[in-house]
Amino acid sequence: MYRLPKLIDINAKSKLIRNRESLLILSRCIELEHPEVIEGFKDKCAVLTVCPEEEHINHVGFKLAGILARDNYKEIIVLSVDGSMHCVQLHFMVEEIFKIMDLDSKVKRRHLVLTKGKVIEVSKNCVKNARFLSRVDKLLKMR
């Protein structure tokens, strides 16, 4: 079963995430469904999992903000399942935290999605636009 720690369950200064340059926020189901994807991140990242079907995004976001306020990460990475209406919230959450905490100039962030067994990076602009259905509709009509 699952072995990686859940973001919501750890202390904000847990030894599991201390003294790491990067923090990976991972959709929990990836650990079971595609464990090979995680291997490349384990050496450089503290890895925490989240299931937005199980945990409300506001609780997870508040906890993540507490973690980011107490440590100096150089990079935050979100890796979710592409197309999941639940997992997309993880990307929105990180963008909101960066805005509220004014982290743009201090911490790098990356948005990754797992699609058809491959990890694809998407831009923060993509994540921002995905929140606005009217923008997405306009972009689709331009094709």
At 94 the three-state DSSP class reads helix
Residue 68 lies in a domain: yes
Residue 2 lies in a domain: no
CATH label of the domain that carries residue 133? 3.40.1050
> Which tens digit of pLDDT belongs to each residue from 16-31?
999 999 999 999 999 9
Buried b (16+ CB within 10 A) or exposed e, 4-13: bebbbebeee
pLDDT score for 62: 98
At 136 the three-state DSSP class reads helix
Residue 115 lies in a domain: yes
Predicted model pTM: 0.95
Mean pLDDT of the chain: 97
pLDDT score for 143: 85
> Which tens digit of pLDDT belongs to each residue from 100-137?
999 999 999 999 999 999 999 999 999 999 999 999 99
Residue numbers of the domain that contains 122: 7-141
Residue 49 lies in a domain: yes
> Which tens digit of pLDDT belongs to each residue from 26-55?
999 999 999 999 999 999 999 999 999 999
Residue 1 lies in a domain: no
Residue 11 lies in a domain: yes
Looking at the chain, the whole-number percentage of residues with pLDDT higher than 70 is 100
Count how many domains the chain has. 1
- Is the distance from CB of 82 to CB of 115 less than 8 angstroms? yes
Which DSSP string corresponds to 4-67?
A: SPBGGGS-TT-TTTTT-SEEEEEEHHHHHH-HHHHHHHHTTEEEEEE-TTTS-HHHHHHHHHHH
CA nearest to 101, candidates 69, 61, 134, 59? 69
Burial of 60 (0-12, 13-18, 19+ CB in 10 A): buried
